[in-house]
């Protein structure tokens, strides 16, 4: 049976591990805060006390950790224990520079490396409907298919490692701008004494409409923020987007999103959903 080590069972990693198990793959899961991995035992996964234990006998090592430094720290600590021939599928959002550093780490230890960040949040992760953006050596595309199909509705394979991260950053620039724009229109409505629900009604069903405005805008209006993507990770992603853009293009909307996210994080919303960007406008 194909064995997948899942390192990091947070908001995304936990349901991804569950879906790998549901697809009939053997799963060995580890999380720094052990309690978050324990529920996977009920799904038939092996819950491990250390990353070294998790990677033992693995055909694939999936990292779904917060950021590049976390992925580097964890994989460095076990790189020599990963079985020969195993493939490291890096699925967290780490940006361009860290993707390249993680690729170098893999090479140093003779590991195959696939850069495969995902689009979609908690609910698509639970439903196995993420969009996997894959890149790496072409011969690994087919090999990784069972993993990608277990967690995603589709895979877009875009070439050499790093290419998928570029596409992820481009997509995240869109998500960040959209969330910020939603917060700004709602904030403006409130400032002008307009019922913000009327704004959502006004765009509803037309060319200006987008489901995300209703999802995140609805949360802002209600003041209820079911956690899908923490504000601290959204701020991290905005920084990764801006770093990648360098001086090549002016991303004013992403800069605005970052400023509002940083204000929301400073106001205590770091671990709440990114829709709390709304508080950053105040
Ligand atoms: N949520 C989303 O909508 C979404 C969508 C697409 C991509 N992503 C990306 O997916 C990744 C995971 O996000 P998430 O939403 O699942 O976040 P999360 O729930 O905060 O999970 C982060 C994971 O990283 C671990 N971690 C952090 N620092 C660590 C360290 N130094 N050493 C070991 N483990 C460490 C955490 O362990 P502890 O539990 O011990 O803190 C946890 O397992 C991030 O890169 C995020 O940007 C998220």
pLDDT of residue 144: 98
- Return phi, psi of residue 228, to 5°: -120, -40
pLDDT of residue 255: 98
Residue bearing the CA closest to ligand 1, atom 10: 92
Residues in CB range of 159: below 8 A, 6 or more apart: 135
State the 10-residue block means of pLDDT for the chain, 282 residues long: 97 98 98 98 98 98 98 97 96 98 97 98 97 97 98 97 98 98 98 98 98 97 97 98 96 98 98 98 92
* Ligand 1 pocket member 175 (CB < 6 A): no
Position in ligand 1 atom list of the atom nearest CA 121: 3
* Ligand 1 pocket member 228 (CB < 6 A): yes
* Ligand 1 pocket member 152 (CB < 6 A): no
pLDDT of residue 197: 98
* Cα separation, 215 vs 278, whole angstroms: 13
Query: What residues form DSSP beta bridges with 62?
Result: 6, 89
């Amino acid at each position: 049976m194909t064995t997948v080590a899942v390192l990091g069972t947070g908001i995304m990693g936990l349901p991804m591990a569950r879906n790998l198990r549901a697809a009939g793959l053997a799963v060995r899961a580890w999380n720094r805060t052990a309690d978050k991995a324990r529920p996977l035992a009920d799904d038939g996964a092996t819950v491990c006390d250390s990353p070294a234990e998790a990677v033992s006998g693995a055909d694939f090592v999936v990292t779904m950790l917060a950021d590049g430094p976390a992925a580097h720290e964890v994989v460095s600590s076990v790189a020599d224990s990963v079985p020969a021939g195993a493939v490291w599928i890096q699925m967290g959002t780490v940006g361009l520079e860290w993707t390249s550093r993680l690729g170098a780490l893999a090479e140093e230890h003779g590991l195959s490396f696939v850069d495969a960040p995902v689009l979609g949040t908690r609910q698509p992760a639970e439903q196995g409907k993420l969009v996997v953006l894959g890149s790496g050596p072409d011969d690994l595309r087919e090999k990784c298919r069972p993993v990608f199909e277990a967690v995603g509705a589709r895979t877009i394979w875009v070439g050499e490692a790093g290419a998928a991260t570029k596409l992820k950053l481009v997509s995240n620039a869109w998500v960040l701008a959209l969330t910020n724009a939603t917060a700004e229109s709602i904030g403006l409505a409130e400032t002008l004494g307009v019922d913000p629900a009327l704004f959502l009604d006004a765009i509803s069903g037309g060319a200006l409409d987008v489901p995300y405005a209703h999802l995140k805008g609805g949360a802002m209006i209600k003041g209820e923020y079911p956690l899908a993507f923490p504000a601290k990770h959204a701020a991290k992603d905005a920084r990764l987007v801006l770093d990648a853009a360098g001086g090549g293009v002016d991303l004013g909307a992403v800069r605005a999103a970052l400023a509002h996210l940083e204000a929301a994080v400073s106001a205590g919303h770091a671990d709440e959903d990114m829709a709390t960007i709304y508080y950053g406008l105040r």
